[in-house]
């Protein structure tokens, strides 16, 4: 049975700016991409955002391949990465010189097969799932990576306070950018961390799991920019966030998210972060 989409939100963190996220569904598949904010001075793809380019290319490739795919999710994602790599080589205005220049993304991908949900995850995208028996499950997110990023964000916030800096935070400040580039250079290499990117075989390092469902289920797929309502800002537990999405709708939750970031804590002092608002994308689905 196809997955039924109940509602989506797709909102750029910066008003009028590029949204590095993407989302899609095809047949019994659904997914959300969270492109990592670029750290280059000039985009390699000749677009407004290499990260947005990657997320869109990922959605395009999944739309083409997912409906007919019957094998493991890792095999599907490997094929998608091959498609995107060829497309990047054809469309890029230049090739990256260092790894931090290459576009990367987090990903949550789910597939319904009978009474089973297969899941694949890179990075800090996540799915919250409740089946007909009331059993709640969650999958996704890289806790080690999140802890390190939170540490850097806290140091960034302390430095801004010490220097008396006001206004919106900016992760492209030189002192922060250097640290972030060093971290990004470690993606998809042994001893580093694994994300969705232009690397053959990367899918073998993705996190995967399967859930057996008892009856009809609902699921919330989301980027960390949306999940911040539960994680970073502590407004909900994960299960409460799923409840709120079903009861109030995603648009209402997005309004609450932006109110926190743009009105209650616009300078990121209460909740340390590299930028005022992250892109926020979520998809609420029904699984029959």
Supply the CATH classification number for the domain 4-142+188-265+277-287: 3.60.40.10
Task: Give the confidence band of 168 by pLDDT, cuts at 50, 70, 90.
Answer: low
Segment 225-229 mean pLDDT: 97
Share of the chain above pLDDT 70, in %: 88
Q: Cβ(105)–Cβ(123) under 8 Å? A: yes
pLDDT tens by residue, 261-284 = 999 999 888 998 878 899 999 999
Task: Give the confidence band of 91 by pLDDT, cuts at 50, 70, 90.
Answer: very high
Give the model's pLDDT for residue 176. Answer: 77
Residue 179 Ramachandran class (φ > 0 left, ψ -120 to 50 alpha, else beta): alpha
Please give the mean pLDDT across all residues of the chain: 91
Q: Cβ(269)–Cβ(157) under 8 Å? A: yes
CA distance 89 to 176: 30
Confidence (pTM)? 0.92
pLDDT above 70 for 166: no
Segment 100-123 mean pLDDT: 96
Give the model's pLDDT for residue 112. Answer: 96
Give the model's pLDDT for residue 213. Answer: 94
CA 285 vs CA 31, 110, 246: distances in Å: 11, 11, 10
Instruction: For residue 8, count CB atoms less than 10 angstroms from its CB and return exposed for 0-12, middle for 13-18, buried for 19 or more.
Output: middle
pLDDT above 60 for 151: no
What is the three-class DSSP state of 175?
Answer: helix
pLDDT tens by residue, 5-42 = 999 999 999 999 999 999 999 999 999 999 999 999 89
Segment 167-194 mean pLDDT: 79
pLDDT above 60 for 171: no
pLDDT tens by residue, 112-131 = 998 999 999 999 999 999 99
Instruction: For residue 147, count CB atoms less than 10 angstroms from its CB and return exposed for 0-12, middle for 13-18, buried for 19 or more.
Output: exposed
Task: Give me the residue label for tokens 């931090």.
Answer: 100
Share of the chain above pLDDT 90, in %: 78
Domain boundaries of the chain, sorted by first residue: 4-142+188-265+277-287
What is the three-class DSSP state of 232?
Answer: coil
Where helices occur in 29-104 by DSSP H, the ranges are 50-65, 73-91
Phi–psi pair at 189, nearest 5 degrees? -135, 155
* Cα–chain center distance at 112: 20
Task: Give the confidence band of 287 by pLDDT, cuts at 50, 70, 90.
Answer: very high
Give the model's pLDDT for residue 189. Answer: 93
Give the model's pLDDT for residue 2. Answer: 82
Instruction: For residue 143, count CB atoms less than 10 angstroms from its CB and return exposed for 0-12, middle for 13-18, buried for 19 or more.
Output: exposed
Task: Give the confidence band of 147 by pLDDT, cuts at 50, 70, 90.
Answer: low
């Amino acid at each position: 049975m196809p997955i039924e989409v109940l509602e989506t939100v797709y909102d750029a963190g910066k008003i009028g700016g590029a949204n590095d996220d993407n989302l899609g569904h095809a047949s019994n598949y659904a997914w959300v991409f969270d492109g990592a904010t670029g750290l280059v001075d000039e985009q390699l793809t000749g677009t407004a955002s290499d990260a947005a380019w990657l997320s869109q290319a990922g959605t395009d490739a999944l739309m083409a391949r997912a409906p007919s795919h019957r094998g493991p999710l890792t095999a599907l994602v490997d094929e998608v990465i091959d498609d995107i790599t060829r497309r990047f080589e054809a469309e890029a205005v230049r090739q990256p010189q260092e790894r931090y220049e290459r576009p990367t993304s987090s990903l949550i991908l789910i597939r319904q097969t009978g009474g089973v949900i297969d899941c694949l995850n890179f990075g800090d995208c996540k799915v919250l799932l409740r089946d007909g028996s009331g059993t709640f499950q969650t999958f996704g997110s890289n806790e080690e990576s999140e802890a390190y990023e939170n540490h850097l964000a806290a140091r960034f916030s302390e430095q801004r306070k010490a220097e008396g800096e006001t206004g919106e935070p900016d992760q492209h400040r030189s002192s922060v950018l250097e640290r972030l580039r060093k971290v990004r250079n470690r993606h998809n290499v042994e001893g580093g961390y694994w994300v969705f990117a232009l690397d053959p075989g990367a899918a073998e390092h993705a996190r995967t799991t399967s859930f057996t469902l008892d009856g009809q289920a609902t699921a919330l797929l989301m980027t960390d920019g949306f999940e911040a309502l539960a994680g970073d800002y502590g407004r909900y537990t994960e299960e409460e966030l799923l409840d709120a999405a079903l009861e109030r709708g995603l648009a209402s939750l997005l309004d609450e998210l932006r109110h926190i970031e743009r009105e209650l804590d616009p300078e990121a002092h209460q909740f340390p972060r590299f930028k005022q608002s992250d892109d926020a994308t979520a998809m609420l689905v029904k699984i029959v």
